[in-house]
Amino acid sequence: MVNYNLPGLNGRHLKLSGPVLDGMYDGNIRYWDDAAIRSLNPGVHLPHHVIIPVHRTDGSGDTFIFTQYLSFSTPAWNNSTSYGTTVSWPAVSGGLGAEGNPGMVTATKDNPYTVAYIGTSFQNAIERYRLGIAMLKNRAGRFVLPTVATAKSAAAALVHKTPKDERLSMIFAPGLNSYPIINYEYALIDPRQPSPGMAAQLRNLLTWAISPRGGNASHFMRQVHFIALPVQVVRLSSAQIAEIR
């Protein structure tokens, strides 16, 4: 999700888009009251203060999906920085780097006027420190919050396109209510294990992880603000787990 520390406005869900976030992270939008941000948030009194973009310094799936959202929604970003678990971030005066989601939370809460992207599993910390949560512009042109409903909407739009190897980007999914930054969680496992015993243990662990009576149970999902794997994806995952030998 996209977060911010904007004194007096953290309780409001500011509207942001891929092109605006592109500008904030490449330095072309320098102040919080820039016309591009004001146009998305009419009636909101935005401060004339320099924006401090915060990014991950370590390799991160959160960086991958955030920069992919920028790339898919903004050709200028795709043609310059593009996306990946690590990218060459544009040099922005005052910008901050942080390691891991804990570092992103700390950098954002300790520095007013920051904007950041933080994994949804840290939503409890975000709420504890009263950081802002942005509404993002989705592919349909609507602004939506990261909720269970908007995540399920995005998943429903693309689950049927998931191939057997499950390599699929769910970023910028179609759908009126789809949140534009969601993804599957992956475990990368060599199907050829050094021993039958190790292979069996891995199969058991991964089978538990995707089971609705195991790691895919709703009470585990709620703790990290995830949604459970759809049944169709569980079947695909089960087929891949069975190949571990």
CATH number for position 132: 3.40.190.10
Strand partners, 3: 116, 133
In this structure, the answer to whether residues 49 and 131 fall within a common structural domain is yes
In this structure, the answer to whether residues 22 and 116 fall within a common structural domain is yes
In this structure, the answer to whether residues 122 and 183 fall within a common structural domain is no
**Are 180 and 81 spatial neighbours (Cβ–Cβ below 8 Å)?**
no
pLDDT of 58 reads 96
pLDDT of 193 reads 96
User: Where is the domain boundary, 103, 137, 171?
Assistant: 137
For residues 107, 5, 131 and 181, what is the CA-based torsion angle, rounded to 10 degrees?
A: -80
Q: How many domains does the chain have?
A: 2
pLDDT of 22 reads 98
pLDDT of 53 reads 98
**Residue 53 neighbours by CB distance under 10 Å:** 21
Q: Would 41 be classed as within a structural domain? A: yes
Rounded to the nearest 5 degrees, what angle is found at the Cα of 127, between the Cα atoms of 3 and 118?
A: 35
pLDDT of 60 reads 95
Distance, CA of 71 to CA of 79 (rounded, Å): 8
In this structure, the answer to whether residues 38 and 123 fall within a common structural domain is yes
When computed from its CA atoms, the radius of gyration of the chain, rounded to whole angstroms, is: 19
Q: Would 142 be classed as within a structural domain? A: no
User: Where is the domain boundary, 80, 115, 137?
Assistant: 137
**Residue 70 neighbours by CB distance under 10 Å:** 27
| Nearest CA among 59, 95, 114, 87 for reference residue 78 | 87
In this structure, the answer to whether residues 72 and 107 fall within a common structural domain is yes
Rounded to the nearest 5 degrees, what angle is found at the Cα of 2, between the Cα atoms of 54 and 155?
A: 135
In this structure, the answer to whether residues 132 and 237 fall within a common structural domain is no
In this structure, the answer to whether residues 33 and 104 fall within a common structural domain is yes
In this structure, the answer to whether residues 71 and 131 fall within a common structural domain is yes
Q: What is the pTM of this model?
A: 0.93
In this structure, the answer to whether residues 188 and 82 fall within a common structural domain is no
For 242, the token pair is 């069975």
Distance, CA of 49 to CA of 63 (rounded, Å): 25
Look at strands 132-133 and 15-16 and give their pairing.
unpaired
Residues 6+ apart with CB under 8 A from 147: 179
In this structure, the answer to whether residues 26 and 120 fall within a common structural domain is yes
Residues 6+ apart with CB under 8 A from 243: 191
Strand partners, 15: 135
**What residue numbers bound the domain in which 16 lies?**
2-137
In which residue ranges of the chain is pLDDT below 50?
none
User: Where is the domain boundary, 92, 110, 137?
Assistant: 137
